[in-house]
């Protein structure tokens, strides 16, 4: 069926797909226009195969039905769908690669809350399994501005609760187990017998799936395959509103886990993941592992896991992520790349075989096994390292800092600011950048200051305006950028980093260690003054 439509404003994918309020996505023609724009901007769906699934949030099931009918009407050959329209983002990435499909559509607003009053999102991933490159998302956006027709099959809903094959017209729909292939991939990378032995020896773990998509994956892999005690995985059932939880695995939102890990009789290891399963947080009893440190520890210990025993080709981190992993790369004599925020920038480096591991400060890490960050993968990697080293999380982290030095690190978020206020902060600092090198702030001398631009070493494309950074002579840094994933006003992110080595300086309280950087940031950008806010809304 051919439906006449007209362009809807604002369908511009951000850091990670198109994210809007659920009601916006449910409004007439909104999802349809965007999906048709994806097909149109990528050469049409005729004869193609796609993977489809989402994180189970409100409107996930309905959106999946619409997309299946649109794919059929656009002439797609086959859709591979997770049972119940569920797929974690990393599992979807794997399925695209495993089946050699033309891409995939993932329904998720990641860690943003779900529900009729909350957020929804759609991501398009390409043949390599990774988020569509900017060239593609720009083309999708451009198409959404001129669209006048979409196609949708006038057919009843498909039963997605049963594994097996069905048809809409001539399009085949394969409903598959969402966990099976992903679990096999994990088993090929990590030493499952060794981790099983660790659990058998009485090692206790808590995994908080936050009522989101990782629940079924974690239950199957940790409890059924690796023998962790039943009940190790909590909040394991994906719910449309995430049970009212905010499925963002950081100390603020995963406070239940944090409380348990800092309480008496804490488990030996704790972890949480986000709405669509690509983020992770890891914690030891009484000790929190910052995502930047986690990436550095994984890199330093990679060879302990069977999938990485031949070493790393290189590493990459997003610009605001701490430089901890760079120290490891330096010690190993491998390349370290600095990319703009967003996983899509790692794709080319991974495809070209230049890096094996990559990560972001925003609780994301991953490797060349898929083209997305992968929450459960990072957790299994840690378990493999814990099983091999037979040390606690704290011992591993402390040894790491002694060897490589410590990058104290924190991100301060100022959320839901009026857009013009956030821009004023950015414009104010941007105007000062050129004059900063050589000047002193809080007893620190500015070494360089710029608006980060990136030239992709593989395809030569450039991305400008990726965040303001001020680097001091001792390696400390201040970075400020605006979020590209928010759905309300503007979110200003302030990233603070200070590097120290040697005795006495390695076990300070993080915010205290960063106090000079916090003051310097205020002096340079005047966030509190301009926004009128007393402090950040979220500190990670
Ligand atoms: C945030 C994170 C970024 C991550 C993205 C998608 O984007 O900061 O590292 O890739 O979510 O998970 P931002 O809101 O900062 O644009
Ligand atoms: Zn996510």
Q: How many angstroms does the Cα of residue 271 sit away from the middle of ligand 1? A: 20
Q: Under CATH, which number does the domain 406-539 receive?
A: 3.30.310.50
> Residue 245: which pLDDT band, with cuts at 50, 70 and 90?
confident
Q: Which residue has the tokens 């439509």?
A: 5
Q: Do domains 181-404 and 406-539 have the same CATH topology?
A: no
Judge whether residue 293 has pLDDT over 90: yes
| Average pLDDT for 353-374 | 97
**Given pLDDT bands bounded at 50, 70 and 90, which one contains residue 503?**
low
The CA 385 to ligand 1 mean position distance, Å, reads 27
Q: Which residues pair with 317 in a beta bridge?
A: 338, 359
CATH no., domain 2-176: 3.40.120.10
| Per-residue pLDDT at 294 | 98
Asked if 204 contacts 268 with a C-beta cutoff of 8 angstroms, the reply is yes
Ligand 1 site-directed mutation target among 17, 247, 341, most atoms within 8 Å of CB? 341
Which protein residue has the closest C-alpha to ligand 1 atom 2? 362
Task: Pick the atom of ligand 1 nearest to 15's CA.
Answer: 16
How does pLDDT run across 91-106, given as a tens digit for each residue?
999 999 999 999 999 9
Taking the centre of ligand 1 as the mean of its atom positions, its distance from the CA of residue 200, in whole angstroms, is 37
> 448 an active-site residue?
no
Contacts of 7 (CB under 8 A, 6+ apart): 33, 144, 145, 146, 147, 148
**Are residues 55 and 238 in contact, defined by beta-carbon separation less than 8 angstroms?**
yes
Any idea where the domains of the chain sit in the sequence? 2-176, 181-404, 406-539
d(CA 520, CA 68): 52
Q: How far is the CA of 397 from the centre of ligand 2 (A)?
A: 25
- The closest residue, in CA terms, to atom 8 on ligand 1 is 362
How do residues 29-65 score in pLDDT, each as one tens digit?
999 999 999 999 999 999 999 999 999 999 999 999 9
**Helix ranges restricted to H, 229-340:** 255-262, 291-301, 324-332
Which CATH code fits 181-404? 3.40.120.10
Residues 6+ apart with CB under 8 A from 24: 30, 120
Strands 78-86 and 477-482: unpaired
Beta strand segments in 426-532, E:
440-441, 444-451, 454-455, 462-463, 468-472, 477-482, 490-500
Name every protein residue with a CB atom under 6 angstroms from any ligand 1 atom. 15-16, 110, 318, 341-343, 360, 362, 364, 483-485, 493
Of the listed ligands, the closest to the CA of 359 is 1
DSSP output for 194-251: HHHHHHHTT--EEEE-TTSTHHHHHIIIIIIIT-PPTTSEES-S--TTGGG-----ST
**Residue 505: which pLDDT band, with cuts at 50, 70 and 90?**
confident
For residue 446, report the phi and psi dihedrals to the nearest 5 degrees.
-75, 125
Residue 501: its pLDDT value, please?
86
Per-residue pLDDT for 487 more than 80? no
Question: CA angle, corner 473, sides to 315 and 454, nearest 5?
Answer: 40
Name the residue of 484, 486, 488, 536 to mutate for ligand 1: max ligand atoms within 8 A of Cβ. 484
Closest residue by Cα to atom 11, ligand 1, is 485
Q: Is 521 helix (H, G, I), strand (E, B) or coil?
A: helix
Is residue 504 scored above 70 in pLDDT? no
Distance 363 CA to ligand 2 centre (A): 9
Q: DSSP letter at 302?
A: G
Residue 16: the pLDDT is 79
- Is residue 236 predicted with pLDDT exceeding 70? yes
Mutate to test the pocket of ligand 1, among 93, 359, 362 (most ligand atoms within 8 A of CB): 362
Mean pLDDT of 449-475: 94
């Amino acid at each position: 069926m051919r439906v006449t439509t007209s362009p809807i404003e604002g369908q511009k994918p951000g850091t990670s797909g198109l994210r809007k309020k659920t009601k916006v996505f449910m409004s007439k023609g909104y999802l349809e226009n965007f999906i048709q724009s994806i097909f149109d901007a990528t050469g049409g769906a005729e004869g193609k195969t796609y993977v489809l699934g989402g994180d189970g949030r409100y409107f996930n099931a309905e959106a999946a039905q619409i997309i299946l009918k649109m794919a059929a009407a656009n002439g797609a050959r086959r859709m591979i769908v997770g049972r119940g329209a569920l797929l974690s983002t990393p599992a979807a990435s794997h399925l695209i690669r495993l089946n050699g499909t033309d891409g995939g559509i993932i329904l998720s607003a990641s860690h943003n809350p779900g529900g009729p009053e909350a957020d929804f999102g759609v991501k398009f991933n390409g043949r390599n399994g990774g988020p569509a490159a900017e060239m593609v998302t720009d083309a999708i956006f451009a198409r959404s501005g001129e669209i006048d027709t979409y196609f949708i099959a006038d057919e009843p809903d498909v039963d997605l609760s049963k594994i097996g094959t069905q048809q809409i017209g001539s399009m085949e729909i394969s409903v598959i187990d969402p966990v099976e292939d992903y679990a096999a991939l994990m088993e090929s990378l990590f030493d499952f017998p060794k981790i099983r032995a660790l659990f058998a020896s009485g090692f206790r773990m808590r995994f908080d799936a936050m009522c989101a998509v990782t629940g079924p994956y974690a239950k199957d892999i940790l409890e059924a395959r690796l023998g962790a005690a039943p009940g190790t995985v909590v909040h394991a059932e994906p719910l449309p509103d995430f049970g009212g939880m905010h499925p963002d695995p950081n100390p603020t939102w995963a406070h239940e886990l944090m409380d348990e890990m800092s309480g008496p009789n804490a488990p030996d290891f704790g972890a949480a993941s986000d709405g669509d399963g690509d983020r992770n947080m890891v914690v030891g009893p009484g000790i929190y592992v910052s995502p930047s440190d986690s990436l550095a520890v994984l890199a330093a210990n990679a060879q302990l896991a069977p999938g990485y025993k031949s070493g790393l080709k290189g590493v990459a981190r997003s610009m605001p992520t701490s430089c901890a992993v760079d120290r490891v790369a330096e010690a190993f004599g491998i390349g370290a790349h600095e990319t703009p925020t967003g996983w899509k920038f790692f794709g080319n480096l991974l495809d070209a075989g230049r890096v094996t591991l990559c990560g972001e400060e925003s609780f994301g890490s991953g490797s060349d096994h898929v083209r997305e960050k992968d929450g459960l993968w990072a957790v299994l990697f840690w378990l493999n390292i814990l099983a091999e080293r037979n040390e606690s999380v704290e011992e591993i982290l402390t040894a790491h800092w002694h060897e490589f030095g410590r990058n104290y690190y924190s991100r301060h978020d100022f959320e839901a600011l009026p857009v013009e206020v956030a821009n004023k902060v950015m414009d104010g600092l941007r105007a000062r950048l050129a004059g900063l090198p050589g000047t002193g702030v809080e007893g620190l001398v500015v070494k360089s200051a710029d608006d980060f631009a990136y030239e992709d070493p593989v395809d030569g494309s450039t991305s400008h305006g990726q965040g303001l950074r001020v680097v001091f002579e001792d390696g400390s840094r201040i970075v400020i950028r605006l979020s590209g994933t928010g759905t309300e006003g503007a979110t200003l992110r302030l990233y603070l980093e200070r590097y120290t080595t040697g005795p006495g300086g390695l076990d300070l309280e993080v915010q205290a260690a960063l106090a000079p950087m916090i003051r310097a940031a205020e002096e340079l950008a005047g966030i509190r003054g301009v926004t009128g806010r007393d402090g950040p809304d979220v500190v990670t």
